[in-house]
Chain A
């Protein structure tokens, strides 16, 4: 049977891959996908904690699953707004490459 440590390590690996995507890739859409991977890694830890720390009545701790539900909702709203911003950016600058977007650079 998998232990909580297994789930936390897999979640950590998923988070690292998302972080690597944000740090290594220069396409703003792929950076956004890396953010989604990191949010999902956090969800995996929360669901694992909910299953491994049962309530006194012997059922999973649903507070964590409700938090995951809220995270999924906020992530969906975030994706919609972020992609609208990317489209507006593409209309203005004709690029999705972050190194071409240096207007605010000092």
Chain B
């Protein structure tokens, strides 16, 4: 059952990721990206990471993609549809991606420790959000505060960047 769910959502995710790369219309690419993120959240659920799955849907499929679609509609991008991809780009992209996948398959195939199934959890009804929260606020408190400063800096930067006259 779990294997079937894993394959369904992985194949869905990879199919929509293919759509992101190969669809010509930027709006179709963005909608495929939303579906990729939702399928990835489902894959997170098969790994018992419920909090991360919810955050994935809220932040990525919600906030980030709304921003993307908003910008696509702000800029009028219809003229971009006709352009062709150069053959040298196809060749370079194919070589780099093929080499990367070959390296990963080689490593995964030659490492027997990776081929065990999931170990059983000691407490099947564990509280996922409490675990993430305790780790975040106890062991990673300083990075958490720094990330708050980073968000503030990003907000100020975006407001400055999107003013009409850049000095």
A residues whose Cβ falls under 8 Å from a Cβ of B: 1-10, 12-21, 23-27, 29-30, 32-34, 36-37, 40, 43-44, 47-48, 50-52, 54, 57-60, 62-63, 65-66, 68-70, 72-81, 83-88, 90, 96-97
**Bound Cα distance from A20 to B46, whole angstroms:** 27
B residues whose Cβ falls under 8 Å from a Cβ of A: 2-3, 6, 10, 13-14, 17-18, 20-21, 26, 29-30, 33, 36-37, 40, 43-44, 46-49, 51-52, 55-56, 59-60, 63-64, 67-68, 71-72, 74-75, 77, 80, 83, 85, 89-90, 92-93, 96-97, 100-101, 104-105, 108-109, 111, 114-123, 126, 131-132, 134-136, 139-140, 143, 147, 150-151, 154-155, 157-158, 161-162, 166
A12-B100, A12-B101, A47-B49 in contact; A54/B158 too (CB < 8 A)? no
CB distance from B77 to the nearest CB of A (A): 6
Report 25 cross-chain contacts, Cβ distance below 8 Å, ordered by A residue: A1-B2, A1-B118, A2-B6, A5-B108, A7-B43, A12-B104, A14-B14, A16-B97, A27-B77, A27-B80, A30-B21, A30-B29, A34-B21, A37-B20, A44-B44, A52-B116, A52-B118, A58-B121, A63-B139, A66-B135, A68-B52, A76-B59, A79-B68, A86-B71, A96-B75
Q: Tell me whether A80 and B67 are in contact (CB under 8 A).
A: yes
**Bound Cα distance from A3 to B64, whole angstroms:** 31
Q: Tell me whether B93 and A23 are in contact (CB under 8 A).
A: yes
Contact among A27, A62, A70 for B26, CB-based, below 8 A: A27
A24-B85, A40-B40, A69-B132 in contact; A84/B157 too (CB < 8 A)? yes
Q: Tell me whether A25 and B21 are in contact (CB under 8 A).
A: yes
Contact among B20, B40, B136 for A17, CB-based, below 8 A: B20
